[in-house]
Chains A and B, each alone.
Chain A
């Protein structure tokens, strides 16, 4: 039976213009979405490159100036801007802290349109970290830009529904099912083969469209992430085909089937994600951002008013920084940095509130994510793209810890009353972003696959019951 179904299903799909139409649709939407994602990725790459080159350029000028000063030459720069003190470096010559997009960044814009991936923390404060407080759960990001993830999560299921909702009901309504059912074949096996064949052809079309769209956007195909991505899309397609198989077996007329499947689409793609998101947000509300900014300012003002006591306090906590030459050598920067340290301690506890709430939201989403394969696949695609919430959080943490490291490095020089020389330039801390490890995708695919099999088996079980009642073949 299979070879005949294979041959004639292909003939029918070609003659009914299904295959050419699907190929065109997928090709256009994939190419446009990938182009869109890649365009943004390129913009990010350019932005990061420009920041990095600016830093290099400034560094080169700074070294020249420093060299002249060290050689005792006269320079025209105002004494505040001469980079021979650690604070001048910390204030005027920040390092570039950047997160370069990975090779698959184009597939999901993720959080990248909300958060910066290139910052230049200066020694005086951690204000850049406010930029990260608006970070939200991945669910919110479902309703995002027109990237490949959007096409896969939202549009592909609709195509699959249109392609498969009436495999059995159309035969029933045309009257061909009676002739088929009088053959010595199991009808559910026959539908199963038709489904598998349609899945097969759509899968082939999808892979070709993916390859072409990647080639057009110049994304490398020979990487393990490409295989992971293909696997994820295929198993997501299989999920919708298995739902359609189920509805074909237990549903009624074509119109009913279409309504059921659209209902399922709304449920899995819209309702479940937005409900989880709503509940997560109201259970773990993010504190007001304005509040945070105000508290931060008030703290700074309060602390700067009592810089003398602050300095004493600071030195008691950092005895290693106590100058050997006596307290009269402490100047503006010593006091200021000590007060900033105090602000940082206070701010950290505020930030940890954000982090806790955010973690609460994310844990909640992770706890219920299995309710919708759309969520699971969306999350995995975001992870592959390196633009997920987790990736930006990881970047934020690395940036913050680098910023502290950078500051401590310079503060130590400040309190040790050390000047900044050309030799110290090479010992300045440098930032390199360490991306999160990408693992567990195979497991996710396997779980989704098992889910598809269960849906199929349930459909067959219910169909056999309907066969016994005589509802399956006849129009009643």
Chain B
């Protein structure tokens, strides 16, 4: 679903991302670990075509991201670190608006079922977003992704700032999406959550993907050891 080939982004002399090769298939959850400035967000921004690569290519569903950005955006959903919606619109209205401008008209029942599936409590459906916590906003974000029927989900630090219960709920949601065949790329600092939900884990440093593992191939302790070793050298 996501294929990057030697994807590189340079800002003058500074290399933010160096020859990244990724291949994420439907039903996989790929967690990118790394310190701040490791190139995780750059990867996601490149996949969204918010910035253009210096060299290399990125394909989503076999479509080149830089050549046909609008086409690739039909297949993906993105939840930024701090998901902002329209504060004076309700959860249902936000869902309706974001699906609508993307070209999906949905009736109220369908939208409610998406919000329910995303785990938002019913009494919040018609409340304005301004009163929502980050976890609740993210659930609306997931509902938007569900409504879009996205084949690919891009997540940038989704669990930072969530309380453990909300973080756990979010992990469960991602697992459900995985079962539906959605490919998920998640940039995170949260080693524990990554080990828990990921199928694949990559560790980045200074714009380079240093290690890649299958999540089942190593224990949490081994993962932490690898992570710290990578960071120290």
B192 close to A (CB within 8 Å): no
Residues of B within 8 A of A179 (CB): 78, 80, 83-85, 98, 141, 144
Residues of B within 8 A of A15 (CB): 88-89
Interface residues as binary, B79-119 with A (CB distance below 8 Å gives 1, 0 otherwise): 01011111011000100111011110000000000000000
Q: Is the CB of A4 within 8 A of B84?
A: no
Q: Is the CB of A11 within 8 A of B80?
A: no
Q: Is the CB of B85 within 8 A of A176?
A: yes
B48 close to A (CB within 8 Å): yes
Interface residues as binary, A139-176 with B (CB distance below 8 Å gives 1, 0 otherwise): 00000000000000000000000000000000000111
Residues of B within 8 A of A12 (CB): 86, 88-89
Q: How large is the interface on B (under 10, 10 to 19, 20 to 34, 35 or more residues)?
A: 20 to 34
| Chain B residue at smallest Cβ distance from A472 | B50
Separation of A190 and B98 alpha carbons in the complex (Å): 12
Query: What's the minimum C-beta distance from B121 to chain A, rounded to whole angstroms?
Result: 22
A181 close to B (CB within 8 Å): yes
- How many A-B Cβ pairs are below 8 Å? 78
Q: How large is the interface on A (under 10, 10 to 19, 20 to 34, 35 or more residues)?
A: 20 to 34
A309 close to B (CB within 8 Å): no
Q: Is the CB of B80 within 8 A of A175?
A: yes
A427 close to B (CB within 8 Å): no
Query: What's the minimum C-beta distance from A71 to chain B, rounded to whole angstroms?
Result: 88
Query: What's the minimum C-beta distance from B107 to chain A, rounded to whole angstroms?
Result: 14
Query: What's the minimum C-beta distance from B114 to chain A, rounded to whole angstroms?
Result: 16
B52 close to A (CB within 8 Å): yes
Residues of A within 8 A of B80 (CB): 175, 178-179
Interface residues as binary, A463-474 with B (CB distance below 8 Å gives 1, 0 otherwise): 000001110011
B61 close to A (CB within 8 Å): no
Separation of A190 and B103 alpha carbons in the complex (Å): 13
Q: CB < 8 Å: which of B71, B84, B102 contacts A176?
A: B84
Query: What's the minimum C-beta distance from B37 to chain A, rounded to whole angstroms?
Result: 14
Q: CB < 8 Å: which of A4, A182, A469, A473 contacts B96?
A: A4
Separation of A178 and B51 alpha carbons in the complex (Å): 12
A183 close to B (CB within 8 Å): yes
Q: CB < 8 Å: which of A8, A174, A175, A468 contacts B89?
A: A8
Q: Is the CB of A183 within 8 A of B101?
A: yes
Interface residues as binary, B119-145 with A (CB distance below 8 Å gives 1, 0 otherwise): 000000000000000000000010010
A1 close to B (CB within 8 Å): yes
Query: What's the minimum C-beta distance from A388 to chain B, rounded to whole angstroms?
Result: 46
A185 close to B (CB within 8 Å): yes
Given known contacts A184-B71, A185-B70, A175 and B82 CB-to-CB distance under 8 angstroms: yes
Query: What's the minimum C-beta distance from A276 to chain B, rounded to whole angstroms?
Result: 45
Separation of A473 and B77 alpha carbons in the complex (Å): 16
B76 close to A (CB within 8 Å): yes
Q: Name the interface residues of A425-476: CB closer than 8 Å to any CB of B.
A: 468-470, 473-474
A50 close to B (CB within 8 Å): no
Q: Is the CB of B89 within 8 A of A182?
A: no
Q: CB < 8 Å: which of A1, A468, A470, A473 contacts B100?
A: A1
Given known contacts A15-B88, A183-B73, A184-B74, A178 and B101 CB-to-CB distance under 8 angstroms: no
Separation of A185 and B71 alpha carbons in the complex (Å): 9
Q: CB < 8 Å: which of B52, B89, B103 contacts A1?
A: B103
Q: Is the CB of A470 within 8 A of B97?
A: no
Separation of A300 and B141 alpha carbons in the complex (Å): 90
Residues of A within 8 A of B97 (CB): 4, 8
Query: What's the minimum C-beta distance from A42 to chain B, rounded to whole angstroms?
Result: 46
B199 close to A (CB within 8 Å): no
Residues of B within 8 A of A275 (CB): none
Q: Name the interface residues of A1-29: CB closer than 8 Å to any CB of B.
A: 1, 3-5, 8, 11-12, 15-16
Residues of A within 8 A of B82 (CB): 175
A186 close to B (CB within 8 Å): yes
Q: CB < 8 Å: which of A5, A8, A175, A184 contacts B70?
A: A184
Query: What's the minimum C-beta distance from A125 to chain B, rounded to whole angstroms?
Result: 71
Separation of A351 and B63 alpha carbons in the complex (Å): 78
Residues of B within 8 A of A468 (CB): 52
Q: Is the CB of B88 within 8 A of A16?
A: yes
Q: Is the CB of A178 within 8 A of B78?
A: yes
Residues of A within 8 A of B96 (CB): 4, 8
Q: Is the CB of A470 within 8 A of B88?
A: no
Residues of A within 8 A of B73 (CB): 182-184
Query: What's the minimum C-beta distance from A121 to chain B, rounded to whole angstroms?
Result: 67
Residues of A within 8 A of B70 (CB): 184-186
Residues of B within 8 A of A186 (CB): 70
Q: Counting chain B CB atoms within 10 Å of each CB, which of A1, A4, A12, A468 scores highest?
A: A4
Q: Is the CB of B102 within 8 A of A183?
A: yes
Given known contacts A12-B89, A16-B88, A474 and B50 CB-to-CB distance under 8 angstroms: yes
Interface residues as binary, B150-190 with A (CB distance below 8 Å gives 1, 0 otherwise): 00001000000000000000000000000000000000000
Separation of A469 and B45 alpha carbons in the complex (Å): 12
Which A-B residue pairs are the 7 nearest by beta carbons?
A4-B100, A470-B51, A182-B78, A175-B84, A184-B73, A176-B84, A183-B102
A-B contact list, 19 entries, CB within 8 Å: A3-B100, A4-B100, A11-B89, A12-B88, A12-B89, A175-B80, A178-B50, A179-B84, A179-B144, A180-B98, A181-B50, A182-B48, A182-B154, A183-B98, A184-B73, A184-B74, A185-B101, A468-B52, A470-B51
What is B's interface to A at a CB cutoff of 8 Å? 45, 48, 50-52, 70-71, 73-74, 76-78, 80, 82-86, 88-89, 93, 96-98, 100-103, 141, 144, 154
6 new A-B contacts at CB < 8 Å, known A3-B100, A174-B84 = A4-B101, A12-B88, A16-B88, A175-B82, A180-B101, A181-B48
